[in-house]
């Protein structure tokens, strides 16, 4: 039997920043059982004691999960406790950034573990980095300085998932990696399991940015010459009593129509005019489907049309947009800023090969 857990490991620079935080908290008088900096990690699932046969099944699960996951980035920042009020049991550093792919990864692994009947701690997943545990006699709540609350340890490049073995010793646990599986590299475009070409995303964009906490987090794809996506609006996207704000729908449809030009002309573009007609209310909590196609991408003033529908195919709004292309120099600047590394040229080539 082996005591195991599934985790994403941290860089030395992030661990060093957390070690400095721990030292500051020690000096402030907090008497806690501190996690050794080299042992700090992001736990996905704690498996406990498993057999070698079960470990083999976990390996297969992680291999498949990694193959379905693109590398993503997290920000280690802030400090808190579990439970959030009263006497703490755990002190943690929080995680922000691209949490959506992290939650998707956790969900896929959990479901696979259940199917294989491999036991694990099935409590709700709250991404965090444990930095200390409470010793007997400590009474909360945890009081920290403003400096600690504003703590930022930098970026965690989540590019692999690990199966770890934990050996408990008097001096503390010793962790050993039983294997790691790399996520798909971020080449800014890819092809999904349905054969659709997935388009580049700029992580801070309101519409497609995975690191914009207020954003819609869309992923656009090319299918049969059209651009498509879907999303479930959240309460913060509403204007009135659960109704999605028209400005959010405008931004989404504008982005989708713009990508029809970008994918055809191998160039970014600027919106000159967008006209929308709203036919029915779009409600938060229901999945909405967005699609657009190019009308004219040959002249300098290019145009596209699109629509948003609900799950039953009802048209909620339609739109028409006009766009002008950026210059070569402006395109290069955008690609550098977004970190896309010639992604537009590669996407254009892939689309052309299929036509």
Domain residue extents for the chain: 2-182, 190-354
Q: pLDDT by residue (tens digit) across 55-111?
A: 999 999 999 999 888 888 899 998 988 888 777 788 999 998 888 889 999 999 999
Residue-level pLDDT at 355: 65
Residue-level pLDDT at 233: 92
Residue-level pLDDT at 37: 95
Q: What is the DSSP string of 252-287?
A: HHHHHHHHHHHHHHTS-EEEEEEEEEE-S--BTTS-
As a whole number of angstroms, the longest Cα–Cα distance in the chain is 75
Q: What is the DSSP string of 45-73?
A: EEEEEE-HHHHHHHHHHHHHHHHT-B-EE
Q: What does the radius of gyration of the chain's CA atoms come to, in whole angstroms? A: 24
Residue-level pLDDT at 299: 85
Nearest to 36 by CA among 174, 147, 150, 144: 174
Residue-level pLDDT at 340: 76
Residue-level pLDDT at 55: 96
In sequence order, which residues have a C-beta less than 8 Å from that of residue 12 and are 6 or more positions away?
none
Distances in Å between the alpha carbon of 307 and those of 251, 278, 297? 12, 10, 18
Cα distance between residue 18 and residue 40, in whole Å:
9
Residue-level pLDDT at 138: 60
Residue-level pLDDT at 139: 60
**CATH number of the structural domain 190-354:** 3.10.129.10
What SS3 state is found at 224?
Answer: coil
Helix pair angle (52-67, 99-115), 10° resolution: 140
Low-confidence ranges of the chain (pLDDT < 70): 136-147, 185-189, 193, 210-211, 341, 355
Residue-level pLDDT at 145: 64
Cα distance between residue 343 and residue 353, in whole Å:
15
Annotated active-site positions, please? 41, 128
Residue-level pLDDT at 346: 79
Residue-level pLDDT at 134: 81
Residue-level pLDDT at 32: 82
In sequence order, which residues have a C-beta less than 8 Å from that of residue 309 and are 6 or more positions away?
288, 289, 291, 315, 316
Instruction: Quickly name the fold that domain 2-182 has.
Output: Cyclic Phosphodiesterase; Chain: A, (3.90.1140)
Helix pair angle (246-265, 343-354), 10° resolution: 70
Residue-level pLDDT at 328: 87
Tokens of 17: 């920043």
Residue-level pLDDT at 143: 65
- Please, what is the Cα angle at 237 between 232 and 243, to 5 degrees? 85
């Amino acid at each position: 039997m082996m005591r195991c857990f599934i985790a994403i490991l941290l860089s030395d620079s992030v661990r060093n920043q957390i070690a400095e935080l721990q030292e500051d908290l020690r000096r402030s008088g907090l008497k806690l059982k501190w996690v050794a900096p080299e042992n700090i990690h992001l736990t996905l699932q704690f498996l406990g004691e498993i057999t070698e046969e079960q470990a083999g099944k976990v390996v297969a699960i992680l291999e498949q999960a990694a193959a379905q996951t693109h590398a993503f980035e997290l920000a280690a920042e802030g400090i808190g406790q579990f439970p959030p009020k009263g006497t703490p049991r755990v002190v943690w550093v929080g995680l922000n950034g691209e949490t959506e792919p992290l939650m998707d990864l956790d969900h896929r692994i959990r479901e696979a573990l259940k199917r294989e009947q491999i036991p694990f701690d099935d409590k709700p997943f709250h991404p965090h980095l444990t930095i200390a545990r409470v010793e007997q006699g400590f009474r909360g709540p945890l009081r920290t300085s403003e400096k600690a609350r504003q703590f930022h340890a930098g970026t965690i490049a989540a590019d692999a998932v690990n199966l770890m073995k934990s050996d408990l010793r008097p001096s503390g646990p010793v962790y050993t990696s039983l294997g790691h599986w790399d996520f798909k590299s971020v080449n800014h475009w890819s092809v999904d399991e349905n054969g659709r070409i997935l388009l580049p995303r700029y992580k801070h964009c309101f519409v497609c940015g995975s690191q914009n906490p207020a954003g819609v987090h869309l992923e656009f794809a090319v299918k049969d010459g059209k651009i498509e996506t879907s999303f479930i609006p959240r309460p913060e996207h509403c204007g009135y009593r659960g109704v999605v704000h028209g400005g959010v729908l405008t931004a989404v449809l504008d982005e989708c129509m713009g990508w029809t030009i970008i994918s055809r002309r191998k160039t970014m573009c600027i919106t000159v005019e967008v006209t929308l007609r709203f036919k029915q209310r779009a409600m938060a909590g229901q999945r909405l489907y967005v699609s657009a196609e190019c009308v004219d991408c040959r002249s300098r003033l290019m145009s596209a049309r699109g629509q948003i529908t609900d799950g039953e195919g009802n048209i909620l709004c339609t739109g028409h947009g006009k766009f002008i292309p950026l210059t070569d120099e402006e395109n290069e600047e955008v690609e550098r800023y977004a970190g896309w590394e010639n992604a537009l040229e590669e996407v254009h080539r892939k689309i052309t090969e299929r036509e």
